[in-house]
């Protein structure tokens, strides 16, 4: 029998932490039961493990008690790290012990999976250095700032690299659980669990859920002025050459600083601002594709469709159908 450790952080917890722990425990337990019903032995012994006797949120509104201390688990096959609070800047209290234990278990052959902001705990082990990592789009900038060696994949729902798994955010941790169940059990069990818990199987991207907010906590005043200018004038034709001159910065240096500060080239940043405005128009108005396209500053329908799909993973019409049922009912 394999061993699954679901970690219970000692500090820096949120309601999402509890949700991830309970969801993972429940679904893996059901997968075990499905195997037993079909004449197989349960695959995993599942344990909640931490370093404290209990973890609380909201002054004891909810309390979770680990079954065992991590010190009693000498060997495990799979470690799951739940989401943590988004105000994380460095590990606190007993989470430092968790980090050391995770690193040791991985080096001993265990695989490790993080859910949403749990990637911040995983990245603290340095096991993610040079590896791909998915995280909630709203926490991606923090991950990039705190751990610049991690390759952040904001469009990917799940990453799988060298026995390390990560996933996007919110309740997409359920998709990661199904992914792990298919990998460890089989496809049949994953489909069964997806039907029991009504989780959409085989989701690959989180792009359509992203709300683009330009990273401005970088300390480069010139680039922040450029961002503000782009955001206020994106409907117009913006020349990056002229913008760099306006800010008294050479074009090559402007591009270099812009990428360093925001993670995007100036042109990519402009595209993302335009598409974010288009998304809001599709969600909230009855405007058709061409009206929105012209409104955000595109004249070429093919280019607009290609860039929209590249950023969101969906065509403009698909996006409008999904997020504005009322407008589509009038077609």
Same domain, 225 and 256: yes
Q: In this structure, are 190 and 249 located in the same domain?
A: no
- Model confidence at 3: pLDDT above 60: yes
pTM of the model: 0.69
CA dihedral 121, 122, 126, 130 (to 10 degrees): -130
CATH number at residue 101: 3.40.50.880
Average pLDDT over residues 59-66: 87
pLDDT reading at 331 higher than 60: no
What pLDDT, on the 0 to 100 scale, is given for residue 128? 96
N-to-C CA span, the chain: 56
Please give the Cα distance from 239 to 250 (Å, whole number): 14
Highest mean pLDDT among 25-34, 86-95, 131-140, 296-305: 25-34
Tokens of 166: 């990560």
Give me the long-range contacts of 24-30 (CB less than 8 A, separation at least 24). 24/80, 24/82, 24/115, 24/173, 24/177, 27/174, 27/177, 27/178, 27/181, 27/193, 27/197, 28/4, 28/177, 28/181, 30/193, 30/196, 30/197
Residues 6+ apart with CB under 8 A from 291: none
Per-residue pLDDT at 330 exceeds 60: no
In a domain, 215, yes or no: no
Average pLDDT over residues 184-189: 92
Residues 153 and 119: beta-carbon distance below 8 Å? no
Q: How many domains does the chain have?
A: 2
Q: Which of 45-49, 60-64, 100-104, 248-252 has the lowest average pLDDT?
A: 60-64
Tell me which of 7-16, 41-50, 57-66, 320-329 is least confident.
320-329
Q: Determine how β-strand 111-114 pairs with β-strand 44-50.
A: unpaired
For 9-51, the pLDDT digits (tens) are 999 999 999 999 999 999 999 999 999 999 999 999 999 999 9
Higher pLDDT, 294 or 208: 294
For residue 170, the model assigns a pLDDT of 79
256: pLDDT confidence band, cut at 50, 70 and 90?
A: very high
Considering the domain boundaries, does residue 117 fall inside one? yes
Of 208, 231, 260, the residue that ends a domain is 208
Same domain, 173 and 236: no
Mean of per-residue pLDDT scores for the chain:
90
Instruction: Please state, in angstroms and rounded to a whole number, the distance separating the CA atoms of residues 36 and 239.
Output: 65
Same domain, 9 and 93: yes
Distance CA 78, CA 92 (A): 23
The residue to which tokens 């197989």 are assigned: 40
Tell me the two tokens of residue 32.
Answer: 């075990």
d(CA 199, CA 269): 33
203 and 144, same structural domain?
yes
Range of the domain at 31: 2-208
Are 194 and 261 within one domain?
no
Report which DSSP code applies to 122: H
pLDDT at 324 (0 to 100):
82
Q: Does 236 share its domain with 194?
A: no
pLDDT: which is higher, 38 or 59: 38
- Residue 201 — pLDDT band, cuts 50, 70, 90? confident
State residue 155's pLDDT score: 76
C-alpha–C-alpha distance, residues 204 and 96, integer Å: 32
Specify the residue for token string 């450790």. 5
pLDDT of res. 211: 63
Does 203 map to a domain?
yes
User: Last residue of some domain: 181, 208, 235?
Assistant: 208
Confidence band (pLDDT; 50, 70, 90) for 171? confident
Assess if residue 216 is contained within a domain. no
The predicted pLDDT at position 213 comes to: 74
- Same domain membership, residue 199 and residue 284: no
| Separation of alpha carbons 95 and 291, rounded Å | 51
Tell me the per-residue pLDDT of 130-170, one tens digit each, with 9 for 90 and over.
999 999 888 888 999 999 999 998 778 899 999 999 998 77
């Amino acid at each position: 029998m394999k061993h699954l450790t679901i970690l219970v952080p000692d500090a820096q917890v949120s309601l999402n932490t509890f949700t991830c722990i309970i969801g993972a425990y429940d679904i893996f337990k059901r997968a075990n039961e499905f195997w037993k019903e079909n004449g197989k032995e349960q695959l995993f012994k599942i344990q909640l493990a931490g370093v404290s006797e209990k973890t609380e949120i909201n002054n004891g509104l909810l309390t979770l008690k680990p079954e065992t201390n991590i010190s009693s688990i000498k060997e495990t096959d799979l470690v799951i790290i739940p989401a943590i609070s988004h105000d994380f800047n460095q590990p606190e209290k007993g989470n430092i012990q968790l980090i050391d234990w995770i690193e040791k278990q991985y080096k001993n052959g265990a695989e490790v999976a993080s859910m949403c902001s749990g990637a911040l705990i995983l990245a603290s082990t340095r096991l993610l250095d040079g590896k791909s990592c998915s995280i909630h789009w709203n926490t991606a900038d923090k991950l990039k700032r705190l751990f610049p060696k991690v390759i952040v994949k904001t469009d990917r729902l799940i990453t799988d690299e060298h026995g390390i798994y990560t996933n996007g955010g919110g309740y997409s941790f359920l998709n990661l659980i199904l992914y792990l169940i298919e990998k460890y059990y089989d496809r049949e069990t994953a489909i069964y669990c997806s039907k029991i818990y009504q989780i959409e199987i085989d989701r690959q991207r989180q792009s359509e859920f992203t709300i683009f907010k330009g990273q401005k906590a970088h300390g480069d005043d010139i680039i922040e002025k450029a961002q503000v200018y782009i955001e206020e004038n994106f409907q117009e034709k913006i020349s990056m050459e002229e913008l760099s001159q306006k800010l008294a910065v050479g074009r090559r240096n402007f591009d270099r600083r812009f990428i360093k500060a925001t993670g995007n080239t100036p042109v990519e940043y402009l595209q993302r601002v335009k598409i974010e405005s288009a998304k809001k128009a599709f969600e909230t108005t009855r405007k058709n594709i061409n009206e929105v396209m012209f409104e955000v500053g595109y004249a070429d329908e093919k280019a607009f469709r290609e860039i929209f799909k590249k950023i969101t993973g969906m065509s403009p019409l698909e996006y409008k159908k999904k997020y504005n049922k009322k407008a589509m009912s009038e077609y």
